[in-house]
Amino acid sequence: MRTERNGLGGVFVVAEVRRSGIHSCTLELVSKARELADARGREVTAIVLRSPSEEPVEPLFRHGADRILLVEDERLGSLNAEVHSRIVAHLIGKGDAEIVLAPATTTGRTLLPAVAALIHTGLTADCTGLEIDAETGLLLQTRPAIGGNVIATIKTPDHLPQMATVRPKTFPVAPPQDRLGRVERPLLDESLFCTSVVCLGEESVEGEEVDIQGLDVIVSGGKGLKRPEGFRLLQELADLLEGAVGASRPTVEAKWISYPHQVGLSGKVVAPRIYLAAGISGAVQHLAGMQTAETIIAVNKDPEAPLFRVADVALCGDLYEILPRLIDAIRREKEERHD
């Protein structure tokens, strides 16, 4: 309860650690946490749980953290929700956090509800915006609700810490600053590691490695492709532009392409430099995942398609006529540059 905790420990970010190191979505959250903490004159603490590693943690300082709580243990190599949530709950409880943030990735979505339950506070999942009332410290947590048709602002007035998971790419990574902080290695009681869960091994699901969020160009397809083979055409275009292929939900549901490609409310939020949408109508749930792209190019045969309303470039016509011409033109342009 607010009355029992004072939240003077500031803003905590639970870092997402992957095999490749600290994930960029953590830097996005540390950047935002800095802004929130500055408004309250408080600190930003990043919690990093991982197996022993040489991977540097200093980027967290450069993007906004004042302090890193680093716990390294062989047993933290793969996510064990029971152990990880217990340790995070212990660290934020001891640190008297006012706000706790984590990426709304599979890991964050698994971990944070368990942490919230352990420390008896609320959690707003999948936020697409965060602001703070500097005076009261109330976190204004924005997220789509009722199937994406309304945007709700949620407050947690009676409990501390205020906890939220935030969709990757919601906030930009702040430019790196020349700043350092302190790394603390808390000693943890062995009982925190007790678990009945045994990890027998890890296997990747087909397509799981696809990371469409990190690329500058995304070429997405929708039901207007009419058939799964349509994605080959999109892949050809994406390859030429060194981009990735995205998809609308119905194409994923139809198994034309795997889920990691899905853009939108129940898929990924992307913010590429160029987002080309072919045969996608532009439902609000799709827009929720791509409308912050720098340049939106829409290809649709219906001049009334809602996506045209947010597009910077509207190509009205049959995608099977337009895309091959676009591919030819880009290929010719590339060849000429090489000559």
Ligand X SMILES: Cc1cc2nc3c(=O)[nH]c(=O)nc-3n(C[C@H](O)[C@H](O)[C@H](O)COP(=O)(O)OP(=O)(O)OC[C@H]3O[C@@H](n4cnc5c(N)ncnc54)[C@H](O)[C@@H]3O)c2cc1C
Residue 319 interacts with ligand X (CB under 6 A)?
Answer: yes
The β-bridge partners of 220 are 246, 277
Instruction: Single out the residue of 81, 154, 188, 283 in contact with ligand X (rule: CB under 6 A).
Output: 283
List the end-to-end C-alpha distance of the chain, in Å, as a whole number: 69
Instruction: Single out the residue of 58, 223, 310, 314 in contact with ligand X (rule: CB under 6 A).
Output: 223
Q: Is 118 exposed, middle or buried (0-12, 13-18, 19+ CB in 10 A)?
A: middle
Residue 186 interacts with ligand X (CB under 6 A)?
Answer: no
User: Are residues 85 and 115 in contact, defined by beta-carbon separation less than 8 angstroms?
Assistant: yes
Q: How far apart are CA 166 and CA 170, in angstroms?
A: 7
Residue 170 interacts with ligand X (CB under 6 A)?
Answer: no
Question: What stretches of the chain show up as alpha helix (H) in DSSP?
Answer: 24-40, 58-62, 81-95, 106-118, 230-240, 249-253, 284-290, 307-310, 319-338
Identify which range of 14-22, 61-69, 201-209, 314-322 contacts ligand X by CB under 6 A: 314-322
Binding track, positions 238-257, relative to ligand X; x by CB under 6 A: ----------xxxx------
Residue 315 interacts with ligand X (CB under 6 A)?
Answer: no
Name which of 91 and 247 has its Cβ closer to ligand X. Answer: 247
Residue 166 interacts with ligand X (CB under 6 A)?
Answer: no
Q: Looking at the chain, how many residues does it have?
A: 339
Residue 103 interacts with ligand X (CB under 6 A)?
Answer: no
Instruction: Single out the residue of 24, 124, 142, 285 in contact with ligand X (rule: CB under 6 A).
Output: 285
Residue 260 interacts with ligand X (CB under 6 A)?
Answer: no
Identify which range of 127-135, 154-162, 274-282, 328-336 contacts ligand X by CB under 6 A: 274-282
Cα angle for residues 260, 272, 327 (degrees, 5° grid)? 85
Report the candidate in 98, 25, 89 with the shortest Cα–Cα distance to residue 60: 25
Residue 224 interacts with ligand X (CB under 6 A)?
Answer: yes
Name which of 168 and 181 has its Cβ closer to ligand X. Answer: 168
**Token output for 104:** 């709304």
Residues 106-165 close enough to bind ligand X by CB under 6 A? 147-148
Instruction: Single out the residue of 318, 324, 331, 332 in contact with ligand X (rule: CB under 6 A).
Output: 318
Smallest distance, Å, CB 289 to ligand X?
6
Name which of 93 and 306 has its Cβ closer to ligand X. Answer: 306
Report the candidate in 45, 60, 49 with the shortest Cα–Cα distance to residue 92: 45
